[in-house]
Chain A
Amino acid sequence: METEVIKKILDAEGMDRVITRISHEILEKSKGTENLVIVGIERGGAILAERFRKKISLIENVIIPKGSIDITLYRDDIGEVGTQPLMKGTHLEFDISGKKVVLVDDVLFTGRTVRSALDALVDFGRPQWVRLAVLLDRGHRELPIRADYVGKNIPTALEEEVVVHFEEKDAMDEVYVARKK
């Protein structure tokens, strides 16, 4: 698919600054790291969650448990999308019950992924609470879902796409808005 970049949103430094800010906000609102866990939604959210963990350990000198969640089995559009995902599997190396869960995703759009992730999460236990952190909110919600921590709000048109690249999988950190040619 040929695309054309129409607007750069974040570079590596910008992304790191956003992660630093949100990490502070999380710590502030959670009143520390006790019972705090960060769970990323595969795939982009999981990478981001790992960044938050690292950042928080630098700030607080505490390693918080990590977790990632695969929503494939919780999607409401099986057989509707053309591409079939590879299941990454859900990895929660702790009991979710009673935990303060910060759910992480890269882009908040229709809200359906988050809905699926919440369903998946509660199948593993009963958290104390769940808050949502996203790198970008591009609008166009189809469900009553909002993020507690937002890196950047970016108004987009529906036909535009928000591309997020992470060093871990794409060799560099960057975010831009693109349009199909």
Chain B
Amino acid sequence: MLEGKTDVVEELTPNKSNTQWTKKDLLGIKDLSAEEIELVLDTAASLRQVSERSIKKVPTLRGRTVVNFFIEPSTRTRASFELAEKRLSADTLNFSGGSSSLVKGETLKDTAKTVEALQVDLIVIRHPSSGAPHRLSEYVKPGIINAGDGINEHPTQALLDMYTLREKKGRLKGLKVCFIGDILHSRVARSNIWGLTKMGAKVMVAGPKMLIPKEIEKMGVEVSYDVKKAVKDADAINLLRIQLERQNEPFFPSLREYARYYGLNSDVMKNAKEDALIMHPGPTNRGIELSSEVAESSGSVILEQVTNGLAVRMAVLYLLSMYKPENK
């Protein structure tokens, strides 16, 4: 305990919105309130300075163990989480699809129980099946952070997107954000739709009809099949990766046709606002969903997204570490 209970109350002013983190897990943006999203973004803003000093490390999570449980290949998200954990001085342990016994037929439950038996505090999971983190959270006590589940959610990506937007535009409420590409298979789009609509932003999704999920309008978004029209008035254009690895089903005729009619190039950008931000969760397929010219234009914040991702993931790790069952 610090300077006596009451002094703590005196000294540690609760944050602006007075929101307290009360969740064991971060399974999806779907489960968060607007206030909780704001709390994560505010916390990330304070944590960003850690990465800007010469000693880029704080002892906050010293003695805590975080497992990065990546059943699906990932380079960027995993690197970002691992660095975030290290900046907070947590001990990290990596299980990946190739090295874990899951591929040898062990069930998710058994693997999870084994990981839990190692007395870990947090589990970051990336899994090809939608809802796998939700199952995991029922199986084990450690907090669960969803680092992407199937086509469902990728909450930390949406949080870093919202962080970047808020930082660049000063607000989220009233912004118009356009997502272009494979919405059907995009957990990034889904998490962003949950988050942005909660924060009062307008969301437009655009792409070939085959890649727009059924009845997505009911999630409070607008749909367009014409990219040139979709980018009009947008404050930000978030491009989704065309998932080449998912194209074993014939969703559209060819990448060539995709690039010509749904890719973002300077010709399409003529229809957009001058200060529209260009975002992409990476890795980009240059020349397919966006041209090099656009990727390197002044509106492109793709690399800032990566930097902000680190701060957002530190914030999530930090907040989940604050969880105590009695906080509920």
Contact = CB atoms under 8 A, between A and B. Distances in A.
The answer to whether A and B interact is yes
Contact of A109 (B7, B58, B322, B327): B7
B20 A83 contact: yes
Nearest to A163: B10
Interface string B1-37: 1111111111111111000110000000000000000
Nearest to A88: B46
A7 B61 CA distance: 39
B324 interface: yes
B60 A73 contact: yes
Interface string B301-326: 00000000000000000110111101
Contacts of A113: 2-3, 11
Contact of B3 (A73, A74, A107): A107
Contacts of A161: 4-7, 10
Interface in B118-172: none
A89 interface: yes
B3 A86 contact: no
A55 B2 CA distance: 29
Given A79-B321, A79-B322, A109 B12 contact: no
B15 A86 contact: yes
Given A87-B47, A89-B49, A75 B2 contact: yes
A87 B15 CA distance: 8
Contacts of A3: 6
A11 B30 CA distance: 51
B60 A112 contact: no
Contacts of A144: none
A44 B12 CA distance: 9
B140 to A, nearest CB: 17
Given A79-B322, A79-B324, A89-B49, A84 B14 contact: yes
A110 B4 contact: yes
Interface residues of B, number: 41
A90 interface: yes
A164 B10 contact: yes
A78 interface: yes
Nearest to A170: B10
A80 B43 contact: no
Interface in A86-139: 86-90, 106-110, 112-113, 116, 119-120, 123-125, 138
B2 A86 contact: no
B53 interface: yes
Contacts of A180: 6
A116 B61 CA distance: 14
Nearest to A85: B12
A171 interface: no
A168 interface: no
A157 B210 CA distance: 71
B59 A83 contact: no
A43 B321 contact: no
A95 to B, nearest CB: 10
A82 interface: yes
Contacts of B5: 161
Given A81-B2, A123-B57, A107 B322 contact: no
Contacts of B15: 84-86
A4 interface: no
B55 interface: yes
A13 interface: no
Contacts of B108: none
B42 interface: yes
A43 B15 CA distance: 13
A155 B6 CA distance: 16
Nearest to A165: B10
B318 to A, nearest CB: 8
B16 A78 contact: no
Contact of B58 (A44, A73, A140, A158): A73
A180 B326 CA distance: 22
10 contacts: A70-B46, A73-B88, A74-B58, A77-B1, A84-B14, A112-B1, A124-B53, A124-B54, A158-B4, A180-B6
Interface of A: 1, 3, 43-44, 70, 72-75, 77-90, 106-110, 112-113, 116, 119-120, 123-125, 138, 140, 158, 161-164, 178, 180
Interface of B: 1-16, 20-21, 42-43, 46-47, 49-50, 53-55, 57-61, 88, 318-319, 321-324, 326-327
Which 8 pairs from chain A and chain B are nearest by CB?
A: A86-B15, A161-B6, A87-B46, A85-B12, A73-B58, A109-B3, A73-B60, A123-B55
Given A1-B6, A79-B321, A81-B2, 8 more contacts: A43-B11, A73-B318, A74-B58, A86-B12, A107-B3, A109-B3, A109-B4, A110-B4
